Structures are given as C-alpha cells and as structure tokens.
Amino acid sequence: STQIQLVSRPEGWPEPENFRTETVELPELQDGQVRVRNEFISVDPYMRGRMRDEKSYVPPFALNETMTGGAVGRVVESRSEKLPEGTPVLHQYGWRDLAQGAADEFTAIQELPDTPLSVYLGILGMTGMTAYTGLTRIAGLKEGDRVFVSGAAGAVGSAAGQIAKLLGASYVIGSAGSDEKARMLTEKYGFDAVLNYKDAPIREQLAKAVGEDGVDVYYDNVGGDHLEAALDVLNRHGRVAVCGAISQYNSTERPCGPDNMGNIIKNSLMLEGFTMGDHWDVTQEYTSRMTEWFTSGKIAYDETVVEGLDHAVDAFIDMMKGANTGKMVVKI
C-alpha cells in the first residue's frame, strides 16, 4: 500500500518536506477484517492542528506514521460477513490507497445514483454535518434570522449558507476570498450577498452590506478580523457558532483578538464553540434530512478534486490557501 506519512512538524505553512511517501507491505487478512481500495481521501483544516505537538480535542499525528483522516472506498477483499466485497465504506485510515482493518472500523455507506462516494467526505459527511450542527444546536437558528457565514465557499461554509436558507433564514450573507467564489455563491448557492474579503477590510464591507438590519447569527469559520466584523453588526440576542479560525492556523505570530468583545455583553450575545466529537448523535437526523435535500436538488454542491495520492500534500496546503471551492478531496 502507498501511504503518506508526516516526518516533521511544520512551522507556519506546511511544506512538502514535512511529508514522505512510503510503500508498506500489507499482512494477510485476518478473520473479521476487510481490505478497502480508497477512491477519495479528505484534506481538512483540523489536520493542521494535529501536526502540532499539542494537546487538543484530537491527539497530534505521530511522526513517521501514516496521516489518518476521512476516506471513502470500496471493500476489495473481505473476511467479514458484515461487509462483503464491493461494499462502499467510510473510514478514518486516511492518506493511503489501500486500507485494512477490523470490519467495525469501516462504515457502510449508501451509494447515490450518479454521485461519487466523495460526497460522504463533504456534503453528506463530516463537513456538512458540522454546518448543520453549528446552526441548529449551537446558534439555535430560527425562522427569519439574518445570518453571516465566513469561509462561505468552503466545504462547511457552502453547506452552512444553504442549510440556513432551507431552515428558514430570511437573509444569508457570506464572505470568500475571490470574486469568482462570491459570484458562484450568489448565483448557484442562493446566498443573498457575498463579500470578497480581499477587496477591502471585512469590517467596513460587512457593516455597509447589512446596514441597520444587522445579523442574528454568525457562523464563524475564520476568526480574527471576521469575528471582529461580526461583533460590530450582531443584533441583540445574537448568537455565534464558533466553528473554526482558519485565518490563524498557519500563523507564527500571536493573533490579535477582536477589539469589540464588549459587544458580547452589551447586546447579550451568545458565542459557543463546538467540536463534532460531542455531536455525532446528530448523524441519523442529518443524513436523512440532507439525503432528501441533496437528492431532490435543493442543495448546490461543488468539490475540488485533485488527482493522485502523490498530490495529497499539495492539495492539503492549497486548500488552506483557498484553491478549493467546496470540499477538497484527493482522488486515488
């Protein structure tokens, strides 16, 4: 099996030199085990956190071990009745072409017509579910709410904006890093407005765009300047789902915080952080609602597909720089 391993911990932006490709001989299958040929592997921002030797909600990657994470593929050899050959599965064995282990470590997934399995890494998987959880369980989205989503053209953000609309938000504004992404989000994804944060300070742009009506919910994927901008325009009893802070993941300097945290008090705002680890019980509810939305054409969905396990590292770094629209996956 060809596998990608982390060999040193990046300082600032990760470099290809931090990784190596290894060929590993797989042992024969034991009773109860399956072998899976991966079709897609996931590259995610949280993996940058795991490259640090720090205690967090997921343990750090060990050096000289294969990068683990979400992947989808098909069983090619089976010694388990639970997962016969050919079954499409989701698992966490990560950046490798072949994965092997106990059948319990693989979850069978339902293949949708004319749809690649990669949707289970994106809209029907962890990132879509994160968007849903943040809106419904953390921000307590209500009908009529006005919503701001940062990182709107990414996997979580593009799902969050659309789910907000499907659940009754009256107005959804997003931010993204290019005019092309902004145009796509308004024309195809149903956002009411999208700001290119590279055009001018997001704080000025957002205040002008939302005007007196402000916003009731902020879905934060970016942190820093975007959180500051949101705190300026949140209405009384506004709610913030603190999901991620990608603007800070590769920074080597101490990040500066918002200067308007006082608004949290003045306006009785609610900001709540969350990690999906505490919310996996949402899976059934989410999968049934999103499968319905997705298959009935109520959800726009794009992914950025990079070909070849050899390009997994570049795909990961490029994703952090914004080369992706929607979920970034690597096709094996």
Q: Which residues form the interface with ligand NDP (CB under 6 A)? A: 44-46, 127, 130, 151, 153-157, 176-178, 181, 197, 221-222, 243-247, 274-276, 319-320, 322, 324, 328
Q: Rounded to the nearest whole angstrom, what is the least distance from the CB of residue 175 to ligand NDP in the complex? A: 7
- Name which of 83 and 243 has its Cβ closer to ligand NDP: 243
d(CA 175, CA 94): 30
The CB-of-88 to ligand NDP minimum distance in angstroms stands at 22
CB of 174 to ligand NDP, least distance (A): 9
Between 87 and 130, CB nearer to ligand NDP: 130
Nearest residue to ligand NDP, scored by beta-carbon proximity: 154
Residue closer to ligand NDP, measured from CB, 274 or 293:
274
Q: Which is nearer to ligand NDP, 15 or 104 (CB)?
A: 15
Provide the minimum distance between the beta carbon of 102 and ligand NDP in the complex, in angstroms, as a whole number: 26
Tokens found for residue 32: 């109860």
Min dist CB 152 to ligand NDP, Å, is: 7
Q: In the complex with ligand NDP, which residue's Cβ is closer, 71 or 319?
A: 319
Write out the two tokens for 3.
Answer: 């596998």
Neighbours of 20 (CB within 10 A): 14
